[in-house]
Structure 1
Amino acid sequence: MNEPLIGDISDTARWVAAYRAIESERPDALFHDRLADRLAGARGHAIADGPVAPHGGRNGWPQVVRTRLIDDLIGRALAQGCDRVINLAAGLDTRPYRLDLPTGLRWYEADLPGLVAEKCRLLAEETPGCTVVRRAVDVTDGTACAEFLREATDGAHHALVITEGLLPYLTPAQVHRLGAVLRQPAVHWWLLDIYSPMMRRAVNLTMGSQLGSARWHFAPADGVRFFTGWTALETESLFEAAARWKRSPPFVRLHARLPSLGTPDRPGQISLWSGAVRLRNTVREEH
């Protein structure tokens, strides 16, 4: 029996980095990431070339579009006074090196020890556009995550927490606990990607044999309403953006116009909705 290309959750970071590298080579690239190829390495490109590639293609349009949507949402948060960015399960993300950021900004990253060490080694000679602090933290460990957040939010008033690509791999109970940990006054916004139950089933059905231990678990039927104590401030549909930027295949662009896509607060059980969402912490309104 063949071993899955994705051996563990950390391999998904190399996989996504490969797609960022491929996108960066396009003349109409949605972003440019000169470090992505180095971070992806041979394993990341092998995964992108393998059977887990969406629709048998190598452009990785869902991951590419998600990257650009979150880039834009970060930019809007910074324009609205964000004074700290905290990236949980940051993987091999390179936004501190490629986005136009305030030099005085502090950007915190947390991920598993092996991936943090790998990233530090590969980027040792690179200079980010702001101050970057990396910590080895299992963000599913509530105590460790809370301790990291105390450090990362120290002195901040309008912090933005990012969990790009993390929540689908967690259980609903883990997501609920994480949301509770994040509900502290210094955290103003939570930026995440979310998927409908049908999307979760489609991903696990079509790619499950290659996802290994990285199968999807979290996809709430009640969408953004799942997040108790948080209010949806902005929602961006991945399918609609992919159609607008001509990244998805033609038949998927047609699908983006259909009402069966659902909505971020009512994705339902059978709709194919996915997107990026910026939530606002309501605990700030209670103080």
Structure 2
Amino acid sequence: MDVENMTMVREFLILGLSDNPQLQVPLFLVFLLIYLIILLGNLVIFTVICADSRLHTPMYFFLSNLSLIDICGTSTITPKLLRIFLTGDKSISYAGCITQLYFYIGFGCTSDFLFTAMAYDRYAAVCQPLRYSLIMNHRVCVQLAAASWIIGFLPSEMITVSVARLSFCASNVINHFFCDLMPLLNLSCTDTANTQSILFFVVALMEMPAFFLTFISYIFIISAILRIRSAEGKRKAFSTCSSHLTMFFIYYLSLFCMNLRPSSTYSQEQGKFLSVFYTSVTPMLNPIIYSLRNKEVKNAVRKVIGSKL
């Protein structure tokens, strides 16, 4: 293509979830409610864990980090989507789109590595109970959390820098509800092989090892629980990691369904639905599952709320 005839894109148009004018207000209300639940639920968990000294343990330390990631990750996407529903303004600047992509990938990858740290913590608690306090001391917890944040944003930086070097010279319409990677690559009028190579490197050498470490940790945990002879012992051991197991399956099921679909069955609408589940529904379920299935969190919430009244 002749470079002189290229018209460089300075802004993108995000189509959103539906073009039906009658659905804009209902969709706005639904996603506003989901967003408020995410913010309030995760903020309550984060505040309660910080305020209650009884929750200053490795498990809740990682949970507070997960709540912070859910708040930040959802806030990267949802406010712009709500604006589209409310005003019909679908435009987003080039810089704004690249920034949204950077934080979306960064918080998503950080969640993956944090799930691995949480699985290792539960493995140490169930499989190495006598050495747990030594294995998961405060320094180790801080190092694991910091590594999750730092390593999580490394692939985001590599991918985003690569995307920023691409040229977008034809259509500027993103058939999605945010600036996701694949819709942007589909719009590029230059070779995307370098970006796809970086993506393969990230998935093969960073994301998949994190998943398998998490998966193997839970295999060891379940095996250790099944070896416990007493039913009460099994119940207590399982109660310490049931919420983690629930969120692990929900999170990775939505992630795999979104990214591992056969190209022959791909549809934009299915992709949007799965992305909604991954970016909105899963962060909303986190505080619900951890609060409803955890007596310590519920008691701490009652204590904090009671002290404020």
TM range (shorter): under 0.3
Which is greater in Rg? 2
Q: TM-score, normalised by structure 1?
A: 0.25
Q: TM-score, normalised by structure 2?
A: 0.24
Structure with higher helix content = 2
Higher relative contact order (CA 8 A, sep 6+): 2
